[in-house]
Amino acid sequence: MTKSSVLGYPRIGADREWKKALEAFWSGKLEENELHARLQEIRLDHLRKQQAKGIDLIPVNDFSYYDHILDTAVMFGIVPKRFAYTGGAVPLSVYYGIARGTKDAAASEMTKWFNTNYHYIVPELNDASPELTENKPLIAYLEAKEKLGIEGKPVIVGPLTFLKLSKGYDASETDAWIDQLLPLYTQVLQELADAGVQWVQIDEPVLVTKLNDADLQRLNKIYTAFASAVPGLNILLQTYFESVENYNEIISLPVQGIGLDFVHGLEGNLQSIQTSGFPADKVLGAGIIDGRGIWKASLQDKLTLLGTLTSLVTTERLVVQSSCSLLHVPVTTAREAKLAAELKDALAFADEKLDEIVILTKAIRSTDADITAKIKDAEQKLQALQSSGDRNRKAVQEAIASIRVQEPNRSRAFAERHVAQQQKWQLPLFPTTTIGSFPQSTEVRKARQQWRKNELSNEQYSSFIRDQIDSWINIQEEIGIDVLVHGEFERTDMVEFFGEKLAGFAFTQYGWVQSYGSRCVKPPVIFGDVEFVGEMTVEETKYAQSKTDRPVKGMLTGPITIMNWSFVRDDIERETIAYQLAYALRQEVEALEKAGIGMIQVDEPAVREGLPLKENKQANYLDWAVKAFRITTCTVQETTQIHTHMCYCEFHDMIDSIEAMDADVISIETSRSHGELIHSFEENTYELGIGLGVYDIHSPRVPSVEEMSNMIDRALRVLDPKLFWINPDCGLKTRGQEETVASLKNMVDATRIARAKYNATPVLS
Ligand code: GLN
Ligand code: ZN
């Protein structure tokens, strides 16, 4: 009989109980035993929910005290030496030490989980001596069984994925590491089998990336070893986020089931299964409910897809499941009280997805009037949103249709613009600027809160913001910065601020998802056609400009960043959404220019995040991402200087795309990516204005003039001095005023030294 299954359930709880428990423990408000008790309550509650909904294969061990990759490392005793760990059970203090750092030892690095916004802790293998410290999946399995009578499905990160995500070893040592880890994994599996476990889900998301022959051999070795050591245990080898590469090799592995993503890898996986068939002795985990999107599924379409699959796999061997763990979506729509009914009815968060999975499973088992009605109901709800005014803004749709076929070019090429801009602005050599935001003091946050609660009138709030601008315009002039900013005091978040002012966006009350550790984000929802409804930033920018003779940069968040940090509709292409955003932002750029703002920065820190996992899809993404930026910025006069900013991602393999954005100036972070970026300019020339961040804004430490001078010298070895700008790494909103002023003073001093040294025109002021 067809079964229903889930790959993982969100940890955070409908009210972020999980986050609150962790943070209470960290701040000493909760004892360790209380933390264990609270987390157990949350964990069991999640299991109960899945049980009540009727999920057959309920995941266990998907829960975590922080992150599942960290759990895997700790389970195998892989703890960096600096935490003074000497073997055996890993204490909670060490576990959280690795995740968050201690006073004596730095935290392990954290990085993005494939192309999601979840971040995992990178295991450091180095000189670790792996041992099995505790069989976590077994503990989770026994708990579910004893407390709730649930026959759970333990979830484990597979060895190949674990090794590929780890660092601290040389590629030539991969096989030695596999030899060390295999007996430990085997022991875990053996103990699970002895306890009566039926199915284990082993996650190997790396199988959607390109593997070389050596890796394919390793894969074979690993799963052959498992099959011979634990012949009675059913292993479901789980992949997600894309279609698998090497389909034929994967289906030949000696496992009992294979999980494929039929949402994000639909085309490729369907093609593989139709061309090569699916082995008659294996179970197919059909990931058809989107574990990353927030929309209701068209159950009718999903049934059609399941129909195609059941022509290749018998219904006994079919498992209907989510495409990936539900970790990436919020918990439930049930508590959303402020969304328009049309929108709320078209949403499905984790709990609603459980229902969808169960409905589809039942629909395969039998035709039942109740199920048919539910399928029809879903169709009607989706249709209602589809035919709403929000999704049918004719003016936008027409504008996008024509913009799509145009070449978004500036009126003149950079070399000519550069001359015209120099003539207009008369900037000194190495102009100095900042990235946009200044410290959001408690005072600023308090005023915003009061205004939101109507305790401050609009007029009082604007006057408060104007005071902040006044004071920071003065500070910037005193320090001697050349290109000023207004400071972004009116913004909490660079995406939310614009989302609240554009049509097509909605904001949930409880739509939180885990980003890393206890940190959760609540992304805006782009549910309709995006449209410009009125000026968003002109007032503050114009005011700031009225207070100084120096240029003030207008400050916008770019289309791709807004898109990548939101939940977006899935009825149209992301490319179209990006163009809608770009077109709306272009109207703001034009409004700023009309108001006399001659420098406009369009931030794109998240441009890299949307990069597809498959190499053959990356160029297309970068093409339209660049085009969206150009649509936003191409209509200004040649003397209007377009800036952009990027940070905290790997740029070195996308310098060409960055250059193609054709921004007159880019400010780019370098301290985290260390020398890599500078190195990449040795190989690629960059022919537009560029400022490499000369100090890391993530620490309250005030960097010395000398440190910054060194950074400048190093950059000028590979970049053209005539095009070089000097700025911090990123926005300064998380910093305090005192350290910000001190750091910027040092930055301007380092600039003066550089100007003298590079035989500059005299310094302004
Ligand atoms: N302009 C924004 C700021 O300064 C940029 C933030 C970012 O890069 N994430 O805050
Ligand atoms: Zn930044």
* 3-class DSSP assignment, residue 367: coil
What residue owns the CA closest to ligand 1's atom 9? 605
Task: Please report the pLDDT score of residue 36 as a whole number.
Answer: 98
The number of residues in the chain equals: 765
Range list of H helices, 456-610: 458-479, 496-499, 538-546, 559-564, 574-594
* Ligand 1 atom nearest to 491, measured from its CA: 10
* Ligand 1 atom nearest to 434, measured from its CA: 4
Q: Is 494 in the pocket of ligand 1 (CB under 6 A)?
A: yes
Model pTM score: 0.95
Instruction: State how far the Cα of 747 lies from the Cα of 419, in Å rounded to an integer.
Output: 26
Correct CATH for 57-238 of 3.20.20.70, 3.60.15.10, 3.30.465.10, 3.20.20.210: 3.20.20.210
| 507 alpha carbon, distance to own chain's centre | 18
Q: Is 382 in the pocket of ligand 1 (CB under 6 A)?
A: no
Grade residue 674 by pLDDT with cuts at 50, 70 and 90. Answer: low
Grade residue 669 by pLDDT with cuts at 50, 70 and 90. Answer: confident
Closest alpha carbon to 177 in 194, 192, 162, 195: 162
Task: Please report the pLDDT score of residue 759 as a whole number.
Answer: 74
Instruction: State how far the Cα of 326 lies from the Cα of 567, in Å rounded to an integer.
Output: 14
- Tens-digit pLDDT profile for residues 302-350: 999 999 999 999 999 999 999 999 999 999 999 999 999 999 999 999 9
Average per-residue pLDDT for the chain? 95
Q: Do domains 57-238 and 394-646+653-759 have the same CATH topology?
A: yes
Instruction: State how far the Cα of 56 lies from the Cα of 2, in Å rounded to an integer.
Output: 10
**488 Cα to the center of ligand 1, angstroms:** 9
Task: Spell out a b/e string for 64-86, using b for 16 or more CB atoms within 10 Å of the CB, else e.
Answer: bbbbbbbbbbbbbbbbbeebebe
Instruction: State how far the Cα of 257 lies from the Cα of 237, in Å rounded to an integer.
Output: 6
Q: Is 588 in the pocket of ligand 1 (CB under 6 A)?
A: no
Contact of 545 with 596, CB cutoff 8 Å? yes
Q: CB within 5 A of ion ligand 2: which residues?
A: 605, 647, 730
Is pLDDT above 80 for 242? yes
Contact of 289 with 263, CB cutoff 8 Å? yes
Contact of 90 with 132, CB cutoff 8 Å? no
Q: Is 733 in the pocket of ligand 1 (CB under 6 A)?
A: yes
Average pLDDT of the segment spanning 176-192: 98
| 542 alpha carbon, distance to own chain's centre | 33
Task: Please report the pLDDT score of residue 612 as a whole number.
Answer: 95
Q: Is 437 in the pocket of ligand 1 (CB under 6 A)?
A: yes
Instruction: State how far the Cα of 169 lies from the Cα of 638, in Å rounded to an integer.
Output: 51
DSSP single-letter state for residue 515: E
* Ligand 1 atom nearest to 733, measured from its CA: 10
Is pLDDT above 70 for 201? yes
Listing DSSP states for 254-276 in one string gives: S-SEEEEESSTTHHHHHHHHHHH
Average pLDDT of the segment spanning 536-565: 98
Task: Please report the pLDDT score of residue 651 as a whole number.
Answer: 81
Binding-site residue numbers for 5-methyltetrahydropteroyltri-L-glutamate are: 16-19, 112, 117, 519-520, 565, 609
Phi/psi of residue 290, nearest 5 degrees:
-60, 115
Closest alpha carbon to 83 in 68, 75, 93: 93
DSSP single-letter state for residue 328: G
Ligand sitting nearest the alpha carbon of 435: 1
Cite the active site residues: 698
Q: Is 697 in the pocket of ligand 1 (CB under 6 A)?
A: no
Is pLDDT above 70 for 598? yes
Instruction: State how far the Cα of 358 lies from the Cα of 288, in Å rounded to an integer.
Output: 12
DSSP single-letter state for residue 554: E
What residue owns the CA closest to ligand 1's atom 10? 731
Range list of H helices, 168-265: 174-194, 213-229, 247-251
Domain residue spans in the chain? Answer: 57-238, 394-646+653-759
Q: How far is CA 273 from CA 196, 257, 288, 310, in A?
A: 32, 14, 15, 11
Q: Is 555 in the pocket of ligand 1 (CB under 6 A)?
A: yes
Q: Which helix (H) or strand (E) holds 418?
A: helix 414-425
Query: For the chain, what percent of residues have pLDDT higher than 90?
Result: 92
Q: Is 645 in the pocket of ligand 1 (CB under 6 A)?
A: yes
Contact of 527 with 569, CB cutoff 8 Å? yes
Task: Please report the pLDDT score of residue 127 as a whole number.
Answer: 87
Task: Spell out a b/e string for 176-211, using b for 16 or more CB atoms within 10 Å of the CB, else e.
Answer: ebbebbbebbbebbbbbbeeebebbbbbbbbbbbeb
Which class for 212: exposed (0-12), middle (13-18), buried (19 or more C-beta within 10 A)? exposed
Neighbours of 557 (CB within 10 A): 28
- Tens-digit pLDDT profile for residues 418-474: 999 999 999 999 999 999 999 999 999 999 999 999 999 999 999 999 999 999 999
Residue pointed to by tokens 């935490």: 83
Whole-number CA gyration radius for the chain: 27
Instruction: State how far the Cα of 518 lies from the Cα of 541, in Å rounded to an integer.
Output: 35
- Tens-digit pLDDT profile for residues 651-667: 888 999 999 999 999 99
Instruction: State how far the Cα of 345 lies from the Cα of 355, in Å rounded to an integer.
Output: 14
Grade residue 677 by pLDDT with cuts at 50, 70 and 90. Answer: confident
Amino acid (1-letter code) at residue 760: A
Is pLDDT above 70 for 675? no
In CATH, what class is 394-646+653-759? alpha beta
List, as own/partner pairs, every contact residues 354-359 make where C-beta atoms lie below 8 angstroms and the sequence separation is at least 24, other chains included. Answer: 354/6, 354/49, 354/50, 354/53, 354/55, 355/53, 356/289, 356/296, 356/297, 356/299, 356/302, 357/4, 357/5, 357/6, 357/55, 357/289, 357/320, 357/321, 357/322, 358/4, 358/53, 358/54, 358/55, 359/299
**669 Cα to the center of ligand 2, angstroms:** 7
Task: Please report the pLDDT score of residue 673 as a whole number.
Answer: 56
* Ligand 1 atom nearest to 605, measured from its CA: 8
What residue owns the CA closest to ligand 1's atom 1? 436
Task: Please report the pLDDT score of residue 331 as a whole number.
Answer: 98
Least confident residue range of 109-113, 244-248, 455-459? 109-113
To test the pocket of ligand 1, the residue of 440, 486, 488 to mutate (highest count of ligand atoms within 8 Å of its CB) is: 488
- Tens-digit pLDDT profile for residues 35-59: 999 999 999 999 999 999 999 999 9
Average pLDDT of the segment spanning 267-276: 98
Instruction: State how far the Cα of 382 lies from the Cα of 713, in Å rounded to an integer.
Output: 58
Structure tokens at 539: 């007032």
Instruction: State how far the Cα of 277 lies from the Cα of 313, in Å rounded to an integer.
Output: 9
To test the pocket of ligand 1, the residue of 645, 648, 670, 698 to mutate (highest count of ligand atoms within 8 Å of its CB) is: 645
Angle subtended at Cα 295 by Cα 291 and Cα 299, rounded to the nearest 5 degrees? 85
